[in-house]
Amino acid sequence: MAESPWRIAMASSVGTAHLAAAQPCQDAHRHLATVDAEGQPVLVLSASDGAGSAERAEVGAILACDTFVRLVAAYLEEGGTVEGIGRPLAERWIAGILYRLELQTRQTRAALRDYACTLLAAVVGAKGAAFLQIGDGAMVIADNGWRHVFWPQHGEFANTTTFITSDRAAQAMDFEAHRAPVDEIALFTDGLESLVLHKATRSVHGPFFDSMFASVRKSAASGVDDPLSRALGDYLSSPRINERTDDDKTLILASRKRA
């Protein structure tokens, strides 16, 4: 396989509230750099935030991210293309994730709600992309500046959202088939929302992404830049960030632009 045109930095960091409660980080993230049937590069990204009230939230987040990447990989191996991804297929992938979580409940005798988590996912090809989201957090792309793909899904009350284990989660899923190249994309869980989104105007804080992507564009890596990812993890765990949010935080930055 040819080298990936993407340079990626990604990390998850446990929140100070979880540290104080002796809880693990309940966020997860995964990526896959592969090709479609025509040999064109495809980048698959997923991030998930386990529900704080769910007993096995961190396991649910890991399984959701892993299963999504595996389902997309199987689709591409069978000759699928990014342009062929529509909402019905995305809903089948959500059903596949739920099936995997249900298998887990049979093994552990836990309830499905114990694995509640959100899902942010992107499949980015040479000429377009597919985005899907259940719950809060957001994805941001470079599109004549920076814009969010979907606004975070928040419930009627504070700190509530839709989870992949919720009733009619597939129907509540946001989906977009993007018919233009995407050269830069960020995924982040809700722990970073207050730092990078302007809720009053429903807009993106562009300077944050300008500064964060500068280092990614300079990377010489093909795929994940491990030193840059470690530096990103240190940044997410720094006092500068923890003073503004006590939640778990995940951030994925992917660029195929050069500095």
Q: Is residue 249 part of a domain?
A: yes
Q: Could you say which DSSP state residue 49 is in?
A: E
pLDDT tens, residue by residue, 146-174:
999 999 998 766 567 999 999 899 999 99
The count of other CB atoms within 10 Å of the CB of residue 81 is 18
- Predicted confidence at residue 182, as pLDDT, reads 97
3-state secondary structure of 45: strand
- Predicted confidence at residue 245, as pLDDT, reads 95
- Predicted confidence at residue 51, as pLDDT, reads 92
Q: Is the pLDDT of residue 239 over 80?
A: yes
- Predicted confidence at residue 61, as pLDDT, reads 98
- Predicted confidence at residue 91, as pLDDT, reads 98
- Predicted confidence at residue 49, as pLDDT, reads 97
Instruction: Give the number of domains in the chain.
Output: 1
Q: Read off the tokens for 49.
A: 């935030």
Q: Is residue 31 part of a domain?
A: yes
Residue 250: alpha-carbon gap to chain centroid: 8
Q: Is residue 1 part of a domain?
A: no
- Predicted confidence at residue 4, as pLDDT, reads 87
Q: Is the pLDDT of residue 8 over 80?
A: yes
Q: Is residue 219 part of a domain?
A: yes
Q: Is the pLDDT of residue 242 over 80?
A: yes
Q: Is the pLDDT of residue 45 over 60?
A: yes
CATH of the domain at 27: 3.60.40.10
Percent of the chain with pLDDT over 70: 98
Q: 254: closest CA among 182, 194, 201, 191?
A: 182
- Residue 57: C-alpha distances to residues 98, 110, 135, 188, 201 (Å): 14, 12, 14, 17, 31
- Predicted confidence at residue 62, as pLDDT, reads 98
3-state secondary structure of 53: coil
Q: Read off the tokens for 57.
A: 């939230």
Q: Is residue 76 part of a domain?
A: yes
- Predicted confidence at residue 2, as pLDDT, reads 60
What is the rounded CA–CA span in Å between residue 26 and residue 252? 16
What is the largest distance, in Å, between two alpha-carbon atoms of the chain? 51
- Predicted confidence at residue 160, as pLDDT, reads 76
- Predicted confidence at residue 259, as pLDDT, reads 76
Locate all alpha helices (DSSP H) within the chain, ordered by sequence. 16-20, 57-77, 87-108, 169-172, 193-196, 206-218, 226-236, 239-242
The count of other CB atoms within 10 Å of the CB of residue 160 is 12
pLDDT tens, residue by residue, 101-143:
999 999 999 999 999 999 999 999 999 999 999 999 999 999 9
Domain interval for residue 68: 7-255
Q: Mean of the per-residue pLDDT values for the chain? A: 95
Q: Is the pLDDT of residue 229 over 80?
A: yes
pLDDT tens, residue by residue, 181-211:
999 999 999 999 999 999 999 999 999 999 9
What is the rounded CA–CA span in Å between residue 67 and residue 54? 19
Per-residue confidence band for 258, with pLDDT thresholds at 50, 70 and 90: confident
- Predicted confidence at residue 36, as pLDDT, reads 93
Q: Is residue 2 part of a domain?
A: no
- Predicted confidence at residue 107, as pLDDT, reads 93
